[in-house]
A and B are shown apart, each in its own frame.
Chain A
Amino acid sequence: MNRRQLAALAGALLLGSTLTACGSDDDTASGDNSGVTLTMLMGVNNIYPEQQRAWFTEVSDKFKAETGASVRFETFASANDELTKIQTSVVAGQGPDIYALGTTFTPTAYATGAFVELTKDDWDKVGGRDRFLPATLGISGPDKEHEVGIPFASRPFVMAYNKDLLTAAGIDKPADSWDGLRDQAKQLTKDGAYGLAVGYADGFDPWKFIWAMTTQAGTPVVKDGKASLDGPNTKAAYQAYLGWLATDKVVDPAAVGWKNAQAIAAFGEGKAAYLPMVSASSKVSLDKSKVAGKYAYAVMPTIPPGATSLPSGGVAATSILSGDNVVVAKYSKHKDLALALLKQLTSEESQTSYYKTFGELPTNQAAATALGSDPALAAIVESAGKSLNTPFTGGWGQVQLALTNVVVQSIPDLSAGKVDDGKLAGLLGQAQSTAQEALDKAK
């Protein structure tokens, strides 16, 4: 490369950086928007890829007819992908206008301060805050005045059960306490089938069990900025969860290596009576499996381990508040257009059609109410209403990881058929200090 070529290269680099710096000017949803393209980032749907592509086109066409602007969708394959995209966009101050985020990730996104806090005026542009199911707004912001997340889809957790296996064992309905579930599971563990299918090696599922059990016991893992991961109820929750495999022997020993998908597969083979902690999206694989037509969904137990009724202070949460929120980037030059698009996406009509295509529950109140009458969905809709948000702190991601890490490091013991009390206490102590440190840093 000679000096002139080098100068050309440097020039091209400079030009590139100045070009990206001058975007188009701010605009409103009304007026001429032709030529404007909004970008929305959302998770790729691996279960319905073709339908998702069709949905992208449909949304863009409809939006163009109404506002003149078109919508371009970008997808991410995993949460890590998404995080990388958000981080680079946030630092660069450019990127997608709208992001669809998992609910538990919303507090972390809020902590970056990179997304628009919705004013009353903004909510009105989305069609009003009261068009949403109140429960789905639980993790939109730290309080009503500082909300960034607009609820878009709801995916509450429930458990699936094999109707034939339960009937054969003389069990008329799923237990409502975790101890009861364990006892039923013992009864159901026979003839090559196990009581429960649990993905102990999953990167996400384990903490949700611990969160649910401790919340029900009245000692949530995080309260008012204080972590309590080393308390007796947390320990009892881990003992119950790990005990299913280690000491109660109601889970296939191979489950120490299972992720969620493998647990679903085992249940689908008819090798387990209960499959806790799944969302409605499991329906797609189960309806193609051996247990198609032989299973149903029920809400998970709401009475914590060691109890026969809900203790005082306990919350009968059936699931974490789970699903997707959408947020608008502060750097977006098209905020009003973005809100107009979200109005379109959260309308009763769009939400109903989204449910019919993808099986994700509406956050739109009218659409959700209409679905509640479907008996096949009863348990899932019930769980949606009884979901509880995880704590709204930017440090939640770390707490979640610390909770899961305890399970990961306990797996060798689990495999050896024991839950070592001293080791568990040590791991919980570590988790507690990690979690508290993260909460102390939270701003």
Chain B
Amino acid sequence: MFLPGGVLTLLVILVPLALALYISLLDLDQYSIREWVGADFIGFANYVEAVRDSHLVHAIGLSVGYSALVTVGCLPIGLAAAVATQDRFKGRGLVRSVLLVPYVLPAFVVGSTWRIIFQPDGVANEVLGTSGLWLNGPRSFWALVIVQLWAGWPLVYLLAAAGLQSLDATVHEAAALDGAGWWAKLRHVILPQLRGPVSLALVISFLHNVNSFTLPFVLFGVPSPYDVEVLPVLTYVESFQNFEFGLSVAMAVVSLILVAIPMAVYLRAVRLDTGLGRR
């Protein structure tokens, strides 16, 4: 039925979205927040400022770049873990649970822990035999990739493992009867079946990274080092440190468009929007 879903969509999504679009056209700051409806209407000036005078373009490049890297990196690790824990062995339940630990830890805890690891006199430098900075300067980008990768790959593992569960045992048997080796089995039987869940995992992982605020915030703090000034942190600083609410909302709208693209592509691909799966 249309009505309940329609009303909920209206209340939960469309009204706030319309408000956000409207606020992005206002000169809303600490001086006008109290009577925000009366803030000056300035058209697309916030968008122009965001693109021309702020670090927005740099932040978009950074966010998309590192999210893509992390997502691609998650794929082999997650798949390998799922395949490795597919067959029964003693202690499998325990291993499966432990593999999920990075994913279920709160981002705040992950950030604080890695912050200690990446200190100039911390474990990272000791283990890698390097010296110097990880949380600022060019290497901070890689620090962010490493930590997000560490925290993010179990999602791919989780969805791939779920996909493997639903594989029909008879298909395995048939493949075995046909004399398929493990590689052939993986390449021609298992992976094609996992395409759905794994591509969902990749889309979620990408969106999660583009939107991730807590981890970079805790890891690097604000003001953020230039090399890791990602989109959510930039938006946050404009709102809650610089009080440029209009500008910040304009940035948020841009990031919404940014995350909507892969989402739309994915929805088209799996036809979730029509409710009909494509076989």
Binding site for B on A (CB under 8 A): 1, 3, 6, 10, 80, 83-84, 87, 90-91, 108, 111-114, 201, 203, 253-254, 256-257, 394, 397-398, 401, 404-405, 408-409, 411-412, 415-416, 438, 441-443
Contacts and interface: CB of A to CB of B under 8 A. Distances in A.
The 5 closest A-B pairs by CB, nearest first: A412-B137, A405-B223, A411-B136, A254-B121, A1-B4
B38 to A, nearest CB: 12
Interface stretch (B61-69, B204-212, B236-244): B236-244
Given A113-B31, A254-B120, A415-B132, 16 more contacts: A3-B3, A83-B240, A84-B240, A87-B33, A91-B34, A114-B34, A201-B136, A203-B221, A397-B242, A398-B241, A401-B242, A408-B136, A408-B223, A412-B137, A416-B132, A441-B31
Interface in B121-146: 121-122, 132-133, 135-138
Interface in B110-128: 118-122
Given A203-B222, A401-B223, A408-B225, A256 B30 contact: no
Given A6-B4, A84-B240, A112 B30 contact: yes
A256 B33 contact: no
B172 to A, nearest CB: 43
A401 B244 CA distance: 13
Interface in B196-254: 221-226, 237, 240-243
Given A111-B31, A114-B34, A397-B242, A257 B135 contact: yes
Chain B facing A: main interface SS: loop
Of B29, B34, B222, chain A has the most CB atoms within 10 Å of the CB of B34
A61 B34 CA distance: 33
Count class of interface residues, chain B: 20 to 34
A217 to B, nearest CB: 24
Nearest to A427: B226
Interface of B: 3-4, 7, 29-31, 33-34, 36, 118-122, 132-133, 135-138, 221-226, 237, 240-243
Nearest to A438: B242
17 contacts: A90-B33, A112-B31, A201-B135, A201-B221, A203-B221, A254-B119, A257-B119, A257-B120, A397-B243, A405-B223, A408-B223, A408-B224, A408-B225, A412-B136, A412-B138, A412-B225, A443-B31
Contacts of A256: 120, 133, 136
Contacts of B30: 108, 111-112, 394, 397
Contacts of B138: 412
Nearest to A437: B53
Contacts of B225: 408-409, 411-412
A6 B3 CA distance: 9
B132 A90 contact: no
A441 B119 CA distance: 39
A113 B34 contact: yes
A441 B133 contact: no
Contacts of A405: 223
Contacts of B34: 90-91, 112-114
Given A397-B243, A408-B224, A415 B120 contact: yes
A364 B35 CA distance: 35
A337 to B, nearest CB: 23
Nearest to B132: A415
B241 A401 contact: yes
Contacts of B135: 201, 257
Nearest to A9: B7
A203 B135 CA distance: 14
Contacts of A112: 30-31, 33-34
A397 B237 CA distance: 11
